[in-house]
Amino acid sequence: MAAESIVQEKKPIVMVVTVIVLIIFFLWSITPLFIMLMSSIKTERAAFSIPEVGDIRGAFGFFKFTPTLEHYKELLINEGFLTYVWHGIVAAISSAIISVGLGTLGAFGLSRGRFKQEDNISFWIISTRMAPAVVVIVPLYYIFRKIGMLQSIPGLILAYTTFNLPFALWLIKGFFDDLPVEIEEAAFVDGDTHWKVFGKIALPLAKPGIVAAFVLCVLLSWNDFLFAAIIGGAPAKTVPVGITELQTTSYIKWGPINAATIILVVPMIFLGILIRKYLVQGLTMGAVRE
């Protein structure tokens, strides 16, 4: 920081513009979520009452309301969202366990091993992550229909694994690549087995990366809609699918939709903050580091 100030202008005008721009961007980022949070604890009447176009003073009516939890009650009790939350948790965590488990083994092998086709294997793994979901889902639907895995939670878990496993493998490989191999070689020469070297030395050192990969796998699965709607179907309905069903052709239940969005979003924001340090590395699959 100190070194930067040597080259950086400290003209007050620059700082003023900086602060103004960042405040505007702050408001732009946070306002939609704030409006949704407020609407989820307002009665539908209060949420729907907005001033006439151009009536700026009337906009302050936004803050005048008595909070209510009726939408959350309706959502969890009448609409059965607790089941959807449970489905989402089970599917996301199972898929994350499979992906990170196999991914960690594969990442270590790929990072340390010598393979003739290493570049091809790597290219294949990364390209599977990049395939558009709408493309993957068509053949997957057909195959799952054939073997009877459609409309089930195991099917959904496997579907999530199609994008989670390459993602986890690639991300964790980056963390293993960063570790000094010399420690492992020394331990091996001292008589430890491969497994011991892996479990006692490499694994603990790569732990932050593995945790970050796990969290990101959960996040990607929990937020997914397409796979849950097409592959999971009715018996494996998750929260994103549940929300879309609150919108019928005749009526949109905005209160419960807002409440469901808060339930969907808040845990993920906490997870995001939890792995904030590895987020850039994670979302760029290890290509950019902070």
Partner 1 sequence: MADSAMELNNNVGERQLSVLHKRRYGLSFYGWMVIPAVILLLAITLYPFFWMIVMSLFKVAVRPGAKNEFVWLSNYLQLFKDHTWIKGWWIQAKYVGISLTIEFLLGFVIAMFLNNLKRGANILTTIFLFPMMVAPVAVGFLYTYLYNASFGWYYWILRTLGILKGATILGDANWALAGIIMADVWNWTPFMTLVLLAGLKKVPLDQLEAAKCDGAKPFRRFIDVVLPNMVPIIVIGVLIRFMDIMRYIDKIFVMTTGGPAGATKTQAYYLFQIAFSYFELGRGAASGFVLLLITIFMAMLFVNIMKKKGVQR
* Residue numbers 125-144 binding partner 1 by CB under 8 A: 125-128, 130-143
Would you say 76 or 92 has its CB closer to partner 1? 92
Residues 152-181, interacting with partner 1 (CB under 8 A): 158, 161-162, 165-166, 169, 173-174, 177, 181
Sketch the per residue contact string, 214 through 233, with partner 1: x for CB under 8 A, - otherwise.
-----x--xxxxx---x---
Give the list of residues 6+ apart from residue 98 with CB closer than 8 angstroms, or none: 157, 161, 164, 165
Interaction residues for partner 1, span 80-119 (CB under 8 A): 98, 102-103, 105-106, 108-115, 119
Q: Which among 161, 200, 168, 208 has a CA at the least distance from the CA of 184?
A: 200
244 binds partner 1, rule: CB under 8 A: yes
Cβ atoms of residues 136 and 144 within 8 Å: no
Give the integer Cα–Cα distance in Å for 205 and 201.
Answer: 6
Cβ distance to partner 1 smaller for residue 86 or 115: 115
Distance of CA 213 to the CA centre of its chain: 10
Residue 138 vs 234, nearer CB to partner 1 = 138
Q: Which stretch binds partner 1 (CB under 8 A): 63-71, 77-85, 205-213, 282-290?
A: 282-290
**Separation between Cα atoms, residue 87 and residue 96, nearest integer Å:** 14
Instruction: Find the shortest distance in angstroms from Cβ 150 to partner 1.
Output: 9
Interface with partner 1 includes 56 (CB under 8 A)? yes
CB of 60 to partner 1, least distance (A): 13
| Angle made by CA atoms 42, 39, 252, in degrees to the nearest 5 | 100
Contact characters 13-52, partner 1, x per CB under 8 A: -xx-xx--xx--xx-xxx-xx-xx--x-------xxxxx-
